[in-house]
Amino acid sequence: VLEKFDFIEKIYSSDVNFLLLKLKGIEAQELQESLKPYRILIRDCSNFDFLDSSYIRVAIKGRESIKRLEDALCEIFS
Protein backbone atom coordinates (compact mmCIF):
# COMPACT_ATOMS: atom_id res chain seq x y z
CA VAL A 1 0.00 0.00 0.00
CA LEU A 2 2.71 2.50 0.99
CA GLU A 3 4.90 1.65 -2.01
CA LYS A 4 2.79 3.92 -4.22
CA PHE A 5 4.06 7.11 -2.55
CA ASP A 6 7.00 8.74 -4.37
CA PHE A 7 8.47 10.17 -1.16
CA ILE A 8 9.01 6.68 0.28
CA GLU A 9 12.36 5.50 -1.04
CA LYS A 10 12.50 2.14 0.74
CA ILE A 11 10.37 0.04 3.07
CA TYR A 12 12.27 -2.28 5.38
CA SER A 13 9.87 -5.07 6.26
CA SER A 14 9.95 -6.66 9.66
CA ASP A 15 8.54 -9.56 11.65
CA VAL A 16 7.47 -7.16 14.39
CA ASN A 17 4.59 -4.68 14.46
CA PHE A 18 6.39 -1.75 12.84
CA LEU A 19 7.96 -0.75 9.54
CA LEU A 20 11.13 1.24 9.00
CA LEU A 21 10.80 3.63 6.05
CA LYS A 22 13.44 5.68 4.25
CA LEU A 23 12.02 8.94 2.93
CA LYS A 24 13.16 11.12 0.04
CA GLY A 25 12.35 14.76 -0.50
CA ILE A 26 10.89 15.19 2.99
CA GLU A 27 12.38 14.84 6.45
CA ALA A 28 10.90 12.89 9.33
CA GLN A 29 10.09 15.95 11.44
CA GLU A 30 8.22 17.61 8.56
CA LEU A 31 6.15 14.47 7.98
CA GLN A 32 5.48 14.20 11.73
CA GLU A 33 4.07 17.73 11.76
CA SER A 34 1.94 17.06 8.67
CA LEU A 35 0.40 13.97 10.29
CA LYS A 36 -0.44 15.62 13.64
CA PRO A 37 -3.85 16.95 12.52
CA TYR A 38 -4.76 13.37 11.59
CA ARG A 39 -3.72 12.15 15.06
CA ILE A 40 -1.14 9.83 13.51
CA LEU A 41 2.23 9.53 15.22
CA ILE A 42 5.39 8.32 13.55
CA ARG A 43 8.84 7.90 15.07
CA ASP A 44 11.68 10.07 13.82
CA CYS A 45 14.68 7.72 13.76
CA SER A 46 17.38 10.37 13.42
CA ASN A 47 18.65 9.67 16.94
CA PHE A 48 19.24 5.97 16.16
CA ASP A 49 22.82 4.94 15.38
CA PHE A 50 23.50 4.92 11.62
CA LEU A 51 20.12 6.49 10.70
CA ASP A 52 19.36 10.10 9.81
CA SER A 53 16.31 12.36 9.47
CA SER A 54 15.19 10.52 6.34
CA TYR A 55 14.15 7.46 8.39
CA ILE A 56 10.87 6.94 10.21
CA ARG A 57 9.30 4.07 12.10
CA VAL A 58 5.59 3.38 11.70
CA ALA A 59 3.70 1.13 14.12
CA ILE A 60 1.33 -1.29 12.42
CA LYS A 61 -1.73 -2.14 14.47
CA GLY A 62 -3.81 -3.81 11.79
CA ARG A 63 -5.24 -2.98 8.39
CA GLU A 64 -7.29 -0.09 9.77
CA SER A 65 -4.20 1.79 10.92
CA ILE A 66 -2.52 1.31 7.54
CA LYS A 67 -5.66 2.58 5.79
CA ARG A 68 -5.78 5.66 8.07
CA LEU A 69 -2.12 6.39 7.30
CA GLU A 70 -2.66 5.88 3.57
CA ASP A 71 -5.70 8.19 3.52
CA ALA A 72 -3.85 10.91 5.46
CA LEU A 73 -0.82 10.72 3.17
CA CYS A 74 -3.07 10.93 0.10
CA GLU A 75 -4.65 14.12 1.47
CA ILE A 76 -1.33 15.68 2.46
CA PHE A 77 0.43 14.96 -0.83
CA SER A 78 -2.41 15.50 -3.30
Whole-number pLDDT of residue 16: 84
Cβ contact 34:76 at 8 Å: yes
Number of folded domains that form the chain: 1
Q: Which domain holds residue 40?
A: 2-76
Q: Could you tell me where the beta strands, DSSP code E, fall in the chain?
A: 8-12, 18-23, 43-44, 55-59
Instruction: List pLDDT tens digits, range 6-64.
Output: 999 999 988 888 999 999 999 999 999 999 999 999 999 999 999 999 999 999 888 89
Whole-number pLDDT of residue 78: 84
Q: Which of helix, strand or coil describes residue 39?
A: coil
Q: What CATH number corresponds to the domain at position 48?
A: 3.90.1150.10
